[in-house]
Amino acid sequence: MSALTDAHFQNVIVSRNTQEPPVLSDVFSRLECELSEFQPAIQTSKARAAALATADQDIDAAKRLVLFMLARRNMLVPISILPAEVLARIFHFTAFSEEPYSDSLGWAYVTHVCRRWRQIALDDSTLWTHLSTYPRNKKWISERLSRARNAPLVIKLEGSISKDTFSLFVPHISHTRVLYLRDLSFLDSEIVREIKTQKAPALERLELSVAISASPMSIRHLVGHSFFKRPLPKLQSFRISEILFPWSLVPRGRLTKLQVTLKEEVSTVTPKGSPHGDLNQLTDLLVNCPALEILTLENCLPSTVSELSGGQTIQLPRLLRLCLRGSSSRITNVLKMLKLSSSTRLRLNCMSENTTTHNDHLILPILSAHFNDPTPVKFRYFKIFLDHVGHEIRMFASTSLPIPHTHVIQVNLGLSFRRIAEVNNRVDILRRACDALSLSSVEFLAVHSFTPIEFINWSQIFRHCTEVTTVQVSGRGMIGVLQALTPPKLANTMARGKGGKRKRGDDGRGARAQVPDNDNKHGPAPVHVPIFPKLTSLLLLTLDFTDAVSGSGVLYDLVLSTVQWRKANKTPLTTLCINNCVIREEQAKALKKVVRDFQWDRDKR
């Protein structure tokens, strides 16, 4: 019995497509006939061996025929009409949208669909350039690196990495575009040494970090004078966390993003030879990175920058965002050195030192100058968060208003003061901040506190906020703000006729304005002027309307009197929102009758 050839099977297919009588059944009939004649002829071992070889050839030919028929069918389905470039693009979307943490093949299963898909995926080396800690299979890592060929790589490795696994990546660092080594441990110092011996001319982004649960790693002696064997001419983004190193190691020139963070601030008294001890190096670094767009320095600021820098001004005209964390004196000193555009967004997290040698509010005049040079910045949104348990004040200012229903907003200034022990000091900083910042254009004001401070004169603090139309009050500590929205009960300071005596004076919750009184021979009578004359919307969150309020009964009475008084004085509240508050249903219904737009989440509790 002779082996059936591929050509014979293909002739069968051709004859069927040309409408000739079907002959495939003839082939099967012939096979059956030969099989019946075949068995008596295989009595000897030599004949059986020859027959087995012939049968294997026939089976291989049949398999090739089936593959040929499947390939031909695949060519007829609609997706096969797509050009190879389009399919490759689809593969990219699939590859780069999957979860990074997976030990499976993931998107690579598309290479098992058909011959054409597999070839397209293998021909596109950029599909194989993104590598992470998972999968950990070394053979699969090697295969992916091989398929990537010389395309620029993106390597993101997290957690403890064995030296054997990392050694697979080392020969490819020369054409690596992005390298992230996150959550390293002290055991991974060998990896840092390995990096030192490599060249990375294509590297654009570099990130090194130690696990936050570990102590900071000092790599001064590990890396010598550079993180790599030669300079990094294309490096634009450099991020390093929980690692102590000399500032001189940071590449200069093309850097657009620099982030250095430590969980705890470097000691004020830095030992000789400390990686962060040379303050001139930090100044020199910033001077030689004029293209910086994002700069983050957390708990790594030197203690006396201004003294060692010789009063040098550092120009960073392209800086979009500046984030500083550390002692308030160190942040103040750094800001004195920097010359930034007034459009630069600031995130400043100041730790109070509670000493007589430095006042935390000294940073405020610098911020005032920053947001007024050369063009004054007009804030439209201002938020205050008072945490008296944590001894903290947080303030956020923006030139834009929150997007409705999402509360998303781009913050121009995020300013916080932590560890301020004295309440009076926190109130003083809040007052000074509201005076220093340009708040005359604020339209949306948000205040939040769970702890009440009854002696705060909110009318004095917000005296510049004359354009406010929306106020958001959150937390029981902010009842004082609501009291400042309307004259206090029984505080009508107008005289009773000629020579009449004045009633109760200002109780500290509101400002007093002088108005003419022709009938009063003793001069003009002081009148309580509620803050925010243009207020139209009041948003109340996490309040208890049954809380007692001095001079106003309970909070519900205060809110109702505020709405009624403003309506009577031609400055009505048009919107009142009550969310996540303790309020009775009959109280909510009563408020709904006096406000045109009343919104309540119906949390009755």
455-503 pLDDT per residue, tens = 788 888 998 999 999 999 999 888 889 988 887 653 343 333 334 443 3
Distance, in Å, from the CA atom of 201 to the CA atom of 208, rounded to the nearest integer, reads: 18
Residue-wise pLDDT tens digits, 331-388? 998 898 898 988 899 999 999 887 666 688 899 999 999 998 778 899 999 999 998 7
Same domain for 63 and 95?
Answer: no
Does 464 reside within a domain? no
What integer is the mean pLDDT of 6-30? 53
Do the strands 413-418 and 392-398 form a parallel or antiparallel pair, or are they unpaired? antiparallel
Cβ contacts of 162-168, under 8 Å, gap ≥ 24: 163/190, 163/191, 163/194, 164/138, 165/136, 165/138, 165/141, 166/191, 166/194, 167/194, 168/138, 168/141, 168/142
Tell me the residue type at 572. Answer: P
Give the whole-angstrom CA distance, residue 430 versus residue 424.
Answer: 10
Q: How many CB atoms lie within 10 A of CB 204?
A: 18
Count of beta carbons in the 10 Å neighbourhood of residue 394: 16
Share of the chain above pLDDT 90, in %: 36
The token pair that represents 362 in the structure block:
């000294």
Per cent of the chain over pLDDT 70 is 77
pLDDT above 90 for 432: yes
Q: Is the pLDDT of residue 516 over 50?
A: no
In a domain, 275, yes or no: no
First to last CA, the chain: 91
pTM value is: 0.78
User: Which of these three, 63, 95, 128, is where a domain ends?
Assistant: 128
Q: Give every CB contact of residue 127 below 8 A, 6+ residues apart in sequence.
A: 88, 91, 92, 95, 121, 147
| 338 inside domain | no
Lookup: tokens for 169: 């990546």
Tell me which residue range forms the domain holding 90: 82-128
Mean pLDDT of 395-402: 94
pLDDT at 156 over 70: yes
**Same-domain pairing of 17 and 105:** no
How many domains is the chain built from?
3
Separation of alpha carbons 391 and 353, rounded Å? 13
- The model's confidence at residue 509, banded by pLDDT at 50, 70 and 90, is very low
Per-residue pLDDT band at 277 (split at 50, 70, 90): low
Answer whether residue 304 is part of any domain: no
**Amino acid code (one letter) for 397:** A
Q: Is 23 a member of any domain?
A: yes
In a domain, 256, yes or no: no
142 shares its domain with 194: yes
Alpha carbon distance 377, 340 (integer Å): 13
> Are 194 and 163 in the same domain?
yes
Place of tokens 């160190």: 330
In a shared domain, residues 143 and 219: yes
Average pLDDT, the chain: 80
Nearest residue to 227 via CA among 193, 258, 256, 257: 193
CB 530 within 8 A of CB 572: no
Q: Is residue 392 part of a domain?
A: no
Give the end of a domain, one of 245, 274, 296: 245
Whether cis (ω within 30° of 0) applies to the bond prior to 374 is yes
Report the b/e string of 425-443 with b at 16+ CB within 10 A: bbbebbbbbbebbebebbb
Q: Does an H or E element contain 561, and which?
A: helix 555-568
Among candidate residues 274, 282, 226, 222, the one with its CA nearest the CA of residue 251: 226
Question: How far is 11 from 23, CA to CA, in rounded Å?
Answer: 9
CB 519 within 8 A of CB 498: yes
Pair of tokens at residue 102? 């997976």
DSSP state, residue 128 = G
Distance CA 319, CA 330 (A): 20
Of 32 and 523, the structure prediction assigns the larger pLDDT to: 32
Residue 500 lies in a domain: no
Check if the beta carbon of residue 595 is closer than 8 Å to that of residue 564: no
17 or 403, higher pLDDT: 403
Q: Which residues contact 43 (CB under 8 A, 6 or more apart)?
A: none
Higher pLDDT, 104 or 46: 46
Per-residue pLDDT, 508: 38
Do 13 and 72 belong together in one domain? Answer: yes
Q: Which of 42, 58, 76 is the last residue of a domain?
A: 76
On the question of pLDDT at 33 being above 80, the answer is no
Higher-confidence residue: 84 or 163?
84
State whether 159 and 198 are in the same domain: yes
Pair (55, 88) in one structural domain:
no
CA distances from 437 to 28, 196, 227, 446 (A): 92, 47, 42, 16
